Amino acid sequence: MKRMGLLVVAVAMLGAGCDDDGPTAPSNPDQVVFTAALSASNEVPPIGNAESSARGNAQITLDLTRGSGGAITGATVTWAFSLSDFPANSSLVAGHIHVGGAGVAGGVQVNTGLTAASALALPDGRLNTQVITTTATATEVGRIQAIVDNPAGYYFNLHSPLNPGGVVRGQLTRIQ
């Protein structure tokens, strides 16, 4: 108990010494990074079939190009995700950022480029970190500022043949 009291005092003293309570500026304003904790139970409606235990994590990095006025004019998107707890021999046939808060399904905003023809196989039901890099289309570039401004209003999900509407989903959280 004595140690806990000292820890609380030390933390309070550190906090009292801060003059600036605002967030620190990102090291590179033209790079935005989001994470998403993916789960089959986050899908709308939640997955109830053989893939209901599926889960994973995603990190999405936007490397932005801006015009002279600061508006986003282009973007390279790096998608990195890891998955587990799928049935053996599952596959992924699509992945996107969608508009929609938690519990709300919405339209595709930015595409990973995954298709049935370029499906990712999960022979043992998991996928170690998979990285895909895409260049945002003109339409996607027009949507990216809204995603940067309100990441909680968007989610990332992956789709499988068994769950073509989406198998795992997670709301975006900006970390940089």
Question: For residues 132 and 115, is the Cβ–Cβ distance under 8 A?
Answer: no
What does the DSSP assignment read for 99-153? E--TT----EEEE----GGGPEEETTS-EEEEEEEEEPPHHHHHHHHHHHH-GGG
* CA–CA gap between residue 131 and residue 149 (Å, rounded): 24
Which positions of the chain have pLDDT values less than 70? 1-26
Domain locations along the chain: 28-174
**What is the per-residue pLDDT for 27?**
72
**What is the per-residue pLDDT for 29?**
87
**What is the per-residue pLDDT for 162?**
98
Look up residue 167 and give its two tokens: 């198998």
**What is the per-residue pLDDT for 24?**
52
Q: What is 28-174's CATH topology?
A: Immunoglobulin-like (2.60.40)
**What is the per-residue pLDDT for 19?**
44
Region for residue 125 given its phi and psi (left: phi exceeds 0; alpha: psi -120 to 50; beta: otherwise): left
* CA–CA gap between residue 55 and residue 157 (Å, rounded): 11
